Amino acid sequence: MDVQEIKNRFGIIGNSPLLNRAIDIARQVAPTDISVLITGESGSGKEVFSHIIHSMSPRKHGPFIAVNCGAIPEGTIDSELFGHEKGSFTGAHEARKGYFEVVDGGTIFLDEVAELPIGTQARLLRVLETGEYIRVGSSKVQKTNVRVIAATNKDVFDAVKEGKFREDLYYRLNTVPLKIPALRERKEDIYLLFRKFIADFTDKYRSPSVQLDPDAQQMLMNYSWPGNVRQLKNIAEQIAVLEKNRDITAEGMLNYIPNESGNNLPMRIEKSSKDDFSERDILYKVLFDMKKDMVELKKLVAEIIRNEGNSADFSSHQQAINQLYRDIELPQSSAGSNDQHTLTIHQPKSEKNYGRMDEAHEVEESLSLFEKESDLIKKALKKHKGKRKLAAQELGISERTLYRKIKELDLN
């Protein structure tokens, strides 16, 4: 099949050299079992390419599963991918097959692969190199035959340099790199794509056809398309459904795409709407930062639980958590010092050492720490026969904080 035939078959629109090159690489690598790392911005077509590769491989009649690694909580991802045994963690009432077991003979698409926790990366490397994996809570080594296509919109090599992504796994996945160009790098495809999407959507919604005047077309071309083809598709859908004036000018286009620093529009129309955009930008940023904080927090908590029994690490984690709490400024129940934000973590005296298999269990426990605060305080007090100084020490908080908490939680 040549590049044009692939485009027809998979509904790929565009004719830029960068896109054609990507299709050609996909075509060549498809018949092999080689892992592919697809990089490209969000909405650029990474998932589409994973389908192309699978459908043109000898595995095409086998199963295909797309897994968004960034959307699965760190605590359950091992179990999702590799399965678990009954009773291997709280809530594991039944044994469950993981994707690598279910997809035996097929292809797994690991989207946002840079988000995989380090422990899961080790398991992934093993299954890639030997086909072997172990269910969470089991000791039996099982075999599977799965081809992995991974994707990321981040620079994984940066993650490698920061120690967040295993270098050996990076090279293993990246045997054949496939870069999907951003829409702004293939401006010649933008209007083609728009025409295709508008035709599809006016057909779907039985709405009248849409024309863009030259200025409006120019505006499409000059826009930066941070959401790439997905964003273009959404905008075409909005226009197909909402636009009353079917002959669209640049000014009409401003209802759908923001005017970026005014340079994508002819001078005469430069105006307003810039403000809404920056306000929305700020909102996005706030949301994004919040998500980042949550992720950081989850990682920290998981790490602390993993290091349970290692008292050397403990106080530094406690400090890090406290700092994080100060940074994200949780709403306070009453005005007070920074101490208000102190999250207390129980450091068990036992040398219990959870293995890596128990990650799912660990996180589940850790998340409930928030609610277990008073429980822990009671236990610590009981253990030290009401001696607050010792209890506070064990809880890793100051005596003063303990006094306050006892009062707040009404533990007297």
Ligand X SMILES: Nc1ncnc2c1ncn2[C@@H]1O[C@H](COP(=O)(O)OP(=O)(O)O)[C@@H](O)[C@H]1O
Which residues of this chain interact with ligand X, rule CB under 6 A?
Answer: 11-14, 40, 42-48, 193, 229-230, 233
Which of ligand X, Mg ion, none sits in contact with 230, Cβ below 5 to 8 A by type? ligand X
Q: How far is the CB of 154 from ligand X (least distance, A)?
A: 12
Q: How far is the CB of 45 from ligand X (least distance, A)?
A: 3
Scanning the structure block, which residue is given the tokens 């919604």? 205
d(CA 147, CA 63): 11
Choose among 169, 226, 225, 162: nearest CA to 37.
169
The full 3-state SS of 221-241, as one line of letters, equals HHCCCCCHHHHHHHHHHHHHH
Q: Which residue number is nearest to Mg ion in terms of Cβ? A: 47
**Which range touches Mg ion (CB under 5 A), out of 43-51, 172-180, 261-269, 392-400?**
43-51
Tokens of 96: 């469950």
Which of Mg ion, ligand X, none sits in contact with 117, Cβ below 5 to 8 A by type? none
Nearer to ligand X, 14 or 396 (CB): 14
Nearer to ligand X, 68 or 401 (CB): 68
Q: How far is the CB of 229 from Mg ion (least distance, A)?
A: 11
Q: How far is the CB of 352 from ligand X (least distance, A)?
A: 42
d(CA 180, CA 12): 13
Tokens of 38: 């697809």
Choose among 113, 124, 8, 37: nearest CA to 71.
113
Q: Which residue number is nearest to ligand X in terms of Cβ? A: 45
Nearer to ligand X, 68 or 374 (CB): 68
Nearer to ligand X, 45 or 83 (CB): 45
Q: How far is the CB of 10 from ligand X (least distance, A)?
A: 8
Q: How far is the CB of 235 from ligand X (least distance, A)?
A: 12
Which of Mg ion, ligand X, none sits in contact with 356, Cβ below 5 to 8 A by type? none
Scanning the structure block, which residue is given the tokens 């277990």? 372
Which of ligand X, Mg ion, none sits in contact with 229, Cβ below 5 to 8 A by type? ligand X
Give the relative orientation of helices 187-204 and 214-222 as an angle to the nearest 10 degrees: 120
Nearer to ligand X, 36 or 397 (CB): 36
Do 106 and 71 touch, CB atoms closer than 8 A? no
Identify the helix (H) or strand (E) that includes residue 248. Answer: strand 247-248
Q: How far is the CB of 44 from Mg ion (least distance, A)?
A: 9
Nearer to ligand X, 193 or 301 (CB): 193
What are the DSSP E strand ranges found in 64-221?
64-68, 107-111, 132-134, 141-143, 147-152, 176-179, 211-212
d(CA 117, CA 247): 50
Asked if 47 is part of the footprint of Mg ion (rule: CB under 5 A), the reply reads yes
Nearer to ligand X, 45 or 396 (CB): 45
Asked if 112 is part of the footprint of Mg ion (rule: CB under 5 A), the reply reads no
User: Quick one: 378 exposed, middle or buried, by C-beta within 10 A (0-12, 13-18, 19+)?
Assistant: middle
Tokens of 298: 């989850």
Q: Point out which residues bind Mg ion (CB under 5 A).
A: 47
